Each structure stands twice: as C-alpha cells, then as structure tokens.
Amino acid sequence: MIAALSLVVVLADASARIHASGPAEAPETDEVVVEDDDAATDPAPVEPEAPSPAPPPATAPAVGPADTAEVGVVERRETDPTVFPDPKKFSRGFFVEGGLGPAVPIGPTSEVLATGFSLGARTGYEIRRWVALQVHATGMVARYDDGVLRRELLQQYVYTGEARFAVPIRRFLIALQGGAGIYQLSNNLLQVAGIAPDNRRIGLAWDASLAFDVHSLNRHISGGVVATFVGMPALRNAGTLVLHVVLRYTL
C-alpha cells in the first residue's frame, strides 16, 4: 500500500514538473544543452566571434508567417454583436399570439365591476415586420357587486379585427394596433345596474393597443406585454383596460 502511494506521489511530482515547463521553454533548454556540449569537447578559450544575427524567437509570430507579412494578415470577418440576433432571420407571415392578465373596468362599469381576469388571443398575417392584419378575441370575467347582488360574475367577450403598425428596433418591437368588432355579455347584470339600455347582450366594440415585444433567439418565438383598451359605446361609453403578458409564435 505504501509502495503504491509512493508511486503515485512520484508520478504526480513528475507530472507537475512537466506541466511547469511549458512548450515555449523547450528551445531554451535545447540551446543550453548545446552550449554545454561545446564546452565539454573544446576546452580551449574561444575567440569572441562576430555578433551573429539574433536567433528567431521561439514562439510563433503574432501577425502571421513572415512570408505573408508584406501582403497583410488574413483576418476573420468581424460580426457586430449589437445586431445579434439578426432581425432578418426572424420568421414572418402567419402568427398566433396568446396572453393573459388583469382586466380593469373603466367608466360606469367600474362602479359595479371589480378588476377581473382575462384571456386573449390574436392571429393574423405579418406582411412586413412593421405591419400586420389580425383578428383578436378576449374573454374577461369579473365580480359584480351593486350592493344587493354581491356575488355575481359577469363575463365579457370581445371580438375585433385589427391592423397593427410597429416600429422594430433590432430584436425589440413597439406596436400600435387597433380595430373594431363586437362585444358579448354573459348576462344582463349591466342592465340591472342601469348601464346597458336593455337586455341585449351583443353590441359594437372598438379596441386600441400598445404592445412591446421582444424576440427570442428562436426565430419563431417572441413575447412581451400588451395594454389594450376595449371601448363599448352602448354601455354608456364604458370600457375595459386589459393588460396581457403575451407569447407569440410566427410560422
């Protein structure tokens, strides 16, 4: 056992010596050996010789081989790290986008509806990265409380067609999008509250959004946040501010 340990120590010591002397030092070692040999074979005093040209350095030149130094050094083409990932490589065309987040009632509906939860989706065609046509659907659910009816839920659905205009900045994108369509209510609670004029549950709606999008390193996937205001003129011009975290996939 002790013999084995001793062998390991010896091998480790030898290995440490090998690693301590780098390959760049090898020529110097050779040169010293040659000088020693000369001294051993010719002990007579040696006349000083004329100075000879300095030996070439042991290491390779940093600028390339000497025979190519006059015509220049061939270098690798440099890439600008600030344009990575390259927006030209992003997918463009049909896309689908989904998001979720809070829905905040604004206007008359805020008197009876609490902040709710919403899910939304958009799909369409990105003609250029800065312009797209799309359809949009969002569903919202919120608690209704008018002092007597206190535990009711109201669901609102919005379906619109939209145009999207964007300002792409490398992998980022700021977009304005908006359109018009219809809204649908799940019940007539807003009629009870005096906001809806009758028990009709479908009416005209419009929406406008501000979106901020960041493209991932995957050419298909991006994500961001979208703030959408949905206006419902028939509900005494009430509206809902929908804040979504979105994920987008472009084919």
Q: Is 187 in the site for another protein (CB under 8 A)?
A: yes
What is the C-alpha to C-alpha distance for residues 152 and 84, in angstroms, rounded to an integer?
51
**Residues paired with residue 166 on neighbouring β-strands, in sequence order:** 175
Q: Is 145 in the site for another protein (CB under 8 A)?
A: no
Question: Contact 95/249 with Cβ under 8 angstroms?
Answer: yes
Q: Is 198 in the site for another protein (CB under 8 A)?
A: yes
Phi, psi at residue 141, to the nearest 5°? -130, 135
Phi, psi at residue 178, to the nearest 5°? -170, 165
Nearer to another protein, 145 or 208 (CB): 145
Which stretch, 49-57, 113-121, 222-230, 240-248, contacts another protein (CB under 8 A)?
A: 113-121
Number of residues that bind another protein (CB under 8 A): 25
Nearer to another protein, 110 or 187 (CB): 187
State the amino acid at position 10 in one-letter form: V
Q: Which of 92, 188, 221, 247 binds another protein (CB under 8 A)?
A: 188
Q: Is 148 in the site for another protein (CB under 8 A)?
A: yes
* Minimum CB–partner distance for residue 150 and another protein (Å): 7
SS (H, E, C) 135-179: EEEEEEEEEECCCCCCCEEEEEEEEEEEEEEEEEECCEEEEEEEE
* Minimum CB–partner distance for residue 91 and another protein (Å): 28
Q: Which of 200, 204, 220, 233 binds another protein (CB under 8 A)?
A: 200
What is the C-alpha to C-alpha distance for residues 158 and 35, in angstroms, rounded to an integer?
93
Which residues sit at the interface with another protein, rule CB under 8 A? 100, 117-119, 139-141, 146-150, 152-153, 155, 186-189, 191-192, 194, 198-200
